[in-house]
Amino acid sequence: MSRRSVNPSRRVADGGLPSVGGLLHPKSRSPPVLTIALVVLGVILLVAYFNSGSGVTVTSREAVSRSEGTCTSEVMRALPYLKKAYGNAMQKVLHVGPDSCTVVSNLLKEGKVEAWGVEPYDLEDTDSSCKSLVRKGFVRMSDIKFPLPYRPDSFSLVVVSDALDYLTPRYLNKTLPDLAKVSTDGLVIFAGNPGQQKPKVSELPKFGRPAKLRSSSWWTRYFVQTGLTENEGPLKKFEEATSKDEYKPDCQIFHLSS
């Protein structure tokens, strides 16, 4: 009889575990059991929701590294085809974007190409090779929202990756013409696809804002409004070269006349 008089609130206070009296009286036990079940289910759903975006848990450094390399890595894959498309225009190249040291180093190894780079973000944890390129002036840090530290027609070709996606139209209106101004033979832009994973909130201190991944039609309209036209000759050669190897880039690639 004493078990029938157990205070339900005490059972909860003792850790939420059902007492013997609760087992004998299902009606008195059902509310807390149902509550516990709903709470557990809610926790499971929340965990599944927050992990569904990436499928894995990563640190902020890993997330930043992965987002930075998206289109710059594409530049490395596309270099052989760019050389076939632009020929002599690949003699003096400026790369603008993160990890410029890698692109510049790769181009300089061939000996026939003069290459420089602009790193729009702070250089962190760079290796000795990159530090050497910075010390010698081949790669420099520069905020691309402001005029580049180069004279007009300083380069034959300008290649941009993982940089314009972080600019609003207000700054694009200044940066894009400035990039075209320092090139004589063309401007190649590698832009992210709208379907790509966007940077995490933890990346904002580095980039200033999340990437705005725009569609091909948006970029095409914007180029027309800015007065930039498609560089038809190199574009055709680039498409012919890539079609032979069935190369399909993960990023959008635009060939513009300077």
User: For position 241, what pLDDT does the model report?
Assistant: 95
Neighbours of 134 (CB within 10 A): 18
Residues whose CB falls within 8 Å of the CB of residue 90, separated by 6 or more in sequence, listed in order: 82, 83, 113, 156, 157
> Same structural domain for residues 68 and 145?
yes
User: For position 16, what pLDDT does the model report?
Assistant: 45
> Same structural domain for residues 108 and 223?
yes
What is the arithmetic mean of pLDDT over 2-28?
41
> Same structural domain for residues 148 and 40?
no
Strand 187-191 with 114-119, pairing = unpaired
Nearest CA-CA partner of 149 in 117, 111, 184, 172: 117
Asked whether the predicted pLDDT for residue 40 surpasses 80, the reply is no
User: For position 251, what pLDDT does the model report?
Assistant: 94
**Taking all residues of the chain, what is their mean pLDDT, rounded to a whole number?**
77
> Same structural domain for residues 25 and 145?
no
> Same structural domain for residues 18 and 117?
no
Q: Provide the domain limits for residue 220.
A: 60-256
Residues whose CB falls within 8 Å of the CB of residue 203, separated by 6 or more in sequence, listed in order: 60, 63, 64, 67, 210
> Same structural domain for residues 9 and 78?
no
Query: 138: which 2 tokens?
Result: 């081949």
User: For position 8, what pLDDT does the model report?
Assistant: 41
> Same structural domain for residues 194 and 242?
yes
User: What's the number of domains the chain is made of?
Assistant: 2
Q: What is the CATH number of the domain that holds 229?
A: 3.40.50.150
Cβ atoms of 201 and 63 closer than 8 Å: no
Indicate whether this model's pTM tops 0.75. no
232-245 and 60-86 helices, crossing angle to 10°: 110
* DSSP alpha helix (H) spans, 99-158: 100-108, 128-135
- Choice between 147 and 20, residue whose per-residue pLDDT is larger: 147
Q: Return d(Cα 198, Cα 203) in angstroms, integer.
A: 10
> Same structural domain for residues 46 and 65?
no
> Same structural domain for residues 161 and 40?
no
> Same structural domain for residues 120 and 226?
yes
Asked whether the predicted pLDDT for residue 51 surpasses 70, the reply is no
115-137 confidence digits (pLDDT tens): 999 998 777 667 889 999 999 99
Handedness of CA 129, 131, 137, 142 (dihedral sign): positive
Query: 28: which 2 tokens?
Result: 């008195």
- Phi (first) and psi of residue 34, to 5 degrees: -65, -40
What is the arithmetic mean of pLDDT over 10-30?
42
User: For position 234, what pLDDT does the model report?
Assistant: 96
User: For position 192, what pLDDT does the model report?
Assistant: 92
Look at the block and give the residue holding tokens 């709470």. Answer: 39
Q: CA gyration radius for the chain? A: 28
137-190 confidence digits (pLDDT tens): 999 999 999 989 899 999 999 999 999 998 989 999 999 999 999 999 999 999
> Same structural domain for residues 158 and 230?
yes
> Same structural domain for residues 65 and 38?
no
Query: 221: which 2 tokens?
Result: 């309209």
181-238 confidence digits (pLDDT tens): 999 999 999 999 887 655 444 444 455 567 888 999 999 999 999 999 999 999 999 9
